[in-house]
Amino acid sequence: MFELLRLHPERPQQRHIARAVQRLQQGWAVIVPTDSSYAFMCLPDAFEAQERICRLRGLDKHHLWSLVCHNLSQVSQYVNMDNVNHRIMRSHLPGPYTFILPASRRLAKRIFGKRRDIGIRMPCHAVCDALLATLNQPLLATTLQFVDEPFPAIDPDDFMARINFEKHVVLDAGWGGVESTTVVDLCDQVPVVVREGLGVFKD
């Protein structure tokens, strides 16, 4: 149970995007290129897909998931943010940033374990953008990095062998990156840069 779809990285074929959306709605996970690295993505209520991703990545209940959104209007439905945080994200997104915010009640509690915050992502990548625009709802995501590997997987021809017995769709747009996003915690009054990565954060 595995599908490979090869897409143009700047002009993704809509028929492949539509197929990926169909599989997401059936509870599958999709491996998607972003502006930092490839990422596992699935619908927030696709709990079996989340469990498969956790097993492949070796994740525990404390892991910070990201919610990948198409626009800030969508973001506002799933996190609690004030006008200051909205301005900060508007000036940096889309781009290689993860902003940590308190999650709203719209997201299932089982996603979080003991934590109630979530990372917000709006990648600047044509394939990811087309997928989100067609799906018209956010996706839960985490970096495509296997439990026994020190870095994110970059070559679809290599990592496909690791997931070809799973319910996954690979959106192959060529080699991915390995550098992480810049992570900024917006849960308190003063933004805190938790990790410096691809993005340059300016408050």
Q: Where are the alpha helices (DSSP H) in 27-175?
A: 47-57, 72-75, 83-92, 126-135, 156-163
CATH number at residue 157: 3.90.870.10
Residue 69 lies in a domain: yes
Cα angle for residues 147, 108, 68 (degrees, 5° grid): 60
> How much is the pLDDT for 113?
66
The residue range of the domain holding 162 is 2-195
Residue 23 lies in a domain: yes
Residue 201 lies in a domain: no
If one counts every other C-beta atom within 10 angstroms of the C-beta of residue 134, the result is: 15
Give Dmax over CA atoms of the chain in angstroms: 46
Residue 74 lies in a domain: yes
Q: What is the DSSP letter of 103?
A: B
Q: How many CA atoms lie within 13 A of 146 on its CB side?
A: 11
Residue 105, classed as helix, strand or coil, is coil
User: Cβ distance 5 to 14 under 8 Å?
Assistant: no
Tokens of 145: 């990095």
Residue 118 lies in a domain: yes
> How much is the pLDDT for 106?
80
Per-residue confidence in pLDDT tens, the chain, 203 aa: 789 999 999 999 999 999 999 999 999 999 999 999 999 999 999 999 999 999 999 998 788 899 999 999 999 999 999 999 999 999 999 999 999 999 888 877 777 666 789 999 999 999 999 999 999 999 999 999 998 899 999 999 999 888 877 899 999 999 999 999 999 999 998 999 999 999 999 87
> How much is the pLDDT for 79?
93
CA distance 96 to 36: 6
Number of structural domains in the chain: 1
Residue 190 lies in a domain: yes
Residue 203 lies in a domain: no
Residue 200 lies in a domain: no
The pTM of this model reads 0.94
User: Cβ distance 28 to 169 under 8 Å?
Assistant: yes
The candidate with the shortest Cα–Cα distance to 24, out of 13, 32, 34, 12, is 32
> How much is the pLDDT for 114?
67
